[in-house]
């Protein structure tokens, strides 16, 4: 999903819920780059950042040590990232509205693509370009508009359990709805 759609927050909660290892590709990138993404972006540019991101995603998507992987919102921009994520992972697209994200991130200064005079317009522009790519990459689309973190976690959990992506809790049976 878009920057600020809750990928890392939801991913951490799901990993805790399912007892899986959580990995945030942006944190791995920062560790490898030796600086924060915002600084790397400013000094090296978006193309260099996307090159480094693609390398990290290729490794993480094929690692059997990663249970839940949160990617950056722009990861889908590169065809090679979509090609490695879709067949090697189960992708949940957290579909948020630009308005909800802009409201949530109004004081955030760490997201390079959302800096400037009109972050809402930037989010709308990003969504126009990225939504088809998110949908192409995703196995499941989860609507997060006006949902709490707990509600989104429940939606993803229910979908993953029904699809057999994670085991059902002991004694539980899939719902027949």
174, two tokens: 């899939």
Beta carbons within 8 Å of 144's beta carbon, 6+ residues apart? 1, 5, 6, 94, 95, 96, 100, 152, 155
pLDDT at 168: 60
Calculate Rg over the CA atoms of the chain: 16
Question: What does the alpha-carbon distance between residue 164 and residue 140 come to, in Å, rounded to a whole number?
Answer: 13
Task: Kindly give the confidence (pLDDT) of every residue in the chain, 177 residues in length, as a single tens digit, with 9 standing for 90 and above.
Answer: 998 899 999 999 999 999 999 999 999 999 999 999 889 988 999 899 999 999 999 999 988 888 999 999 999 999 999 999 999 999 999 999 999 988 887 777 677 666 777 888 989 999 999 999 999 999 999 999 889 999 999 999 999 999 988 766 655 555 444
Q: Is 167 helix (H, G, I), strand (E, B) or coil?
A: coil
pLDDT at 171: 54
The pTM of the whole model exceeds 0.85:
yes
Which residue, chain included where needed, has tokens 């040590």?
Answer: 65
34, two tokens: 């030796």
Question: What does the alpha-carbon distance between residue 65 and residue 108 come to, in Å, rounded to a whole number?
Answer: 31
Which bin fits 61, alpha (ψ -120 to 50), beta or left (φ > 0)? alpha
pLDDT at 117: 79
């Amino acid at each position: 999903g878009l920057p600020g759609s809750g990928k890392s927050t939801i991913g951490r909660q799901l990993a805790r819920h399912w007892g899986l290892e959580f990995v945030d590709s942006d944190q791995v990138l920062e560790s490898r780059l030796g600086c924060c993404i915002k600084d790397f972006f400013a000094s090296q540019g978006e193309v260099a950042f996307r090159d480094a991101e693609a390398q990290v995603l290729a490794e993480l998507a094929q690692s059997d040590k990663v249970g839940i992987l949160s990617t950056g919102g722009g990861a889908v921009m590169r065809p090679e990232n979509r090609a490695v994520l879709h067949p090697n992972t189960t992708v949940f697209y957290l579909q948020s509205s630009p308005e909800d994200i802009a409201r949530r991130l109004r004081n955030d200064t760490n997201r390079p693509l959302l800096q400037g005079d009109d972050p809402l317009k930037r989010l709308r522009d990003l969504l126009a370009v990225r939504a088809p790519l998110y949908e192409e990459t995703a196995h499941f689309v989860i609507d997060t508009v006006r949902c709490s973190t707990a509600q989104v976690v429940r939606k993803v959990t229910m979908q993953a359990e029904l699809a057999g992506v994670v085991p059902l809790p002991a004694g539980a049976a899939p719902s027949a709805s």
